[in-house]
Amino acid sequence: MTNAIDDVFAPGGPIELTLSGFEARAGQVQMAQLIERGFLEGMHTIVEAGTGVGKSLAYLVPALRSGKKVVVSTGTIALQEQLFQKDIPLVARALNTTARITLLKGRNHYLCKQKLERMRSERLLASSRTMQHLWEWGARTQTGDRSELPFLPPGDEWEQLDADADDCVGEFCEHFRDCFFFRKRDEAKFADIVVVNHALFFLDLAMGGGLLPPYDFAILDEAHQCERWATAALTATLSRATVGRMMRKLHRSYALPVTFDSDFERGIRGLESALARVPGDRYPLHANEEASPALESLRETLFKLENWLYANWHDGLKKRPQNDAEAERRRDLAMRSILAHQATIDRAQAPADTAIAWVERSESDARYQINSAPFDVADFLRAALFERTPSVVLTSATIANGSSVEHGAFDFLKRSLGVAEAQELVAPSPFNYPTQARLYVAPPELNPKAQDFARRAAPLVEECLDRSRGRAFVLFTSYARLREVYALVRGRLSFPIRLQGELPRTHLLEWFRSTPNAVLFATGTFWEGIDVVGDQLSCVIIDRLPFPSPGDPLVQARIESIEARGQNGFDQYMIPSAIVRLKQGFGRLIRSRSDRGLVALLDGRAASSRYGAIILDALPPASRISHLDQLTEFFGE
| Distance from C-alpha of 506 to C-alpha of 530, rounded to nearest angstrom | 10
Q: Mark the segment that binds ligand SF4 (CB under 6 A) among 173-181, 348-356, 420-428, 565-573.
A: 173-181
Q: Rg of the chain's alpha carbons, rounded to an integer? A: 26
168 is an interface residue for ligand SF4 by CB under 6 A: yes
Closer residue to ligand SF4 (CB): 66 or 114: 114
Q: Mark the segment that binds ligand SF4 (CB under 6 A) among 31-39, 165-173, 252-260, 609-617.
A: 165-173
159 is an interface residue for ligand SF4 by CB under 6 A: no
Q: Mark the segment that binds ligand SF4 (CB under 6 A) among 163-171, 208-216, 494-502, 563-571.
A: 163-171
User: At its nearest, how many Å lie between ligand SF4 and the CB of residue 327?
Assistant: 15
173 is an interface residue for ligand SF4 by CB under 6 A: yes
User: At its nearest, how many Å lie between ligand SF4 and the CB of residue 184?
Assistant: 10
160 is an interface residue for ligand SF4 by CB under 6 A: no
| Distances from the Cα of 332 to the Cα of 9, 250, 307, 314, 548, angstroms | 53, 12, 13, 12, 40
Closer residue to ligand SF4 (CB): 175 or 240: 175
Provide φ and ψ at 219, rounded to 5°: -120, 120
Q: Are residues 71 and 215 in contact, defined by beta-carbon separation less than 8 angstroms?
A: yes
| Distances from the Cα of 55 to the Cα of 23, 28, 59, angstroms | 13, 6, 6
For residue 75, the one-letter residue type is G
Q: Are residues 368 and 281 in contact, defined by beta-carbon separation less than 8 angstroms?
A: no
User: At its nearest, how many Å lie between ligand SF4 and the CB of residue 111?
Assistant: 8
179 is an interface residue for ligand SF4 by CB under 6 A: yes
By CB under 6 A, name the one of 181, 412, 573, 635 that touches ligand SF4: 181
Closer residue to ligand SF4 (CB): 117 or 289: 117
**Which of 535, 554, 135, 110 is closest to 371 using CA atoms?**
554
Closer residue to ligand SF4 (CB): 61 or 173: 173
Q: Mark the segment that binds ligand SF4 (CB under 6 A) among 2-10, 174-182, 260-268, 533-541.
A: 174-182
Show the site string, 366-405: x = touches ligand SF4 by CB under 6 A, - = not.
----------------------------------------
185 is an interface residue for ligand SF4 by CB under 6 A: no
Closer residue to ligand SF4 (CB): 69 or 329: 329
Closer residue to ligand SF4 (CB): 211 or 427: 211
Label residues 441-477 b or e (16+ Cβ within 10 Å = b).
bbeeebbbeeeebbebbbebbeebbbbbbbbbbbbbb
By CB under 6 A, name the one of 84, 135, 176, 511 that touches ligand SF4: 176
Closer residue to ligand SF4 (CB): 176 or 570: 176
Q: Are residues 288 and 277 in contact, defined by beta-carbon separation less than 8 angstroms?
A: yes
163 is an interface residue for ligand SF4 by CB under 6 A: yes
> Which residues, numbered 76-115, are part of the site for ligand SF4 (CB under 6 A)?
112-114
- The dihedral sign for the CA sequence 40, 46, 49, 54: positive
User: At its nearest, how many Å lie between ligand SF4 and the CB of residue 489?
Assistant: 52
Q: List, in order, residues 6 or more apart from 53 with CB less than 8 Å away.
A: 25, 27, 28, 31, 397, 427, 428, 429, 430
| Distance from C-alpha of 398 to C-alpha of 547, rounded to nearest angstrom | 15
Closer residue to ligand SF4 (CB): 108 or 423: 108
By CB under 6 A, name the one of 68, 118, 175, 415 that touches ligand SF4: 175
| Distance from C-alpha of 572 to C-alpha of 561, rounded to nearest angstrom | 11
- Cβ count near 566 (within 10 Å): 6
Q: Where are the alpha helices (DSSP H) in 234-388?
A: 240-253, 259-275, 291-312, 324-349, 378-381
| Distance from C-alpha of 75 to C-alpha of 527, rounded to nearest angstrom | 14
Residues binding ligand SF4: number (CB under 6 A): 13
Residue count of the chain, please give it. 637
Closer residue to ligand SF4 (CB): 187 or 531: 187
Closer residue to ligand SF4 (CB): 134 or 163: 163
Binding site for ligand SF4 (CB under 6 A): 112-114, 163, 168-170, 173, 175-176, 179, 181-182
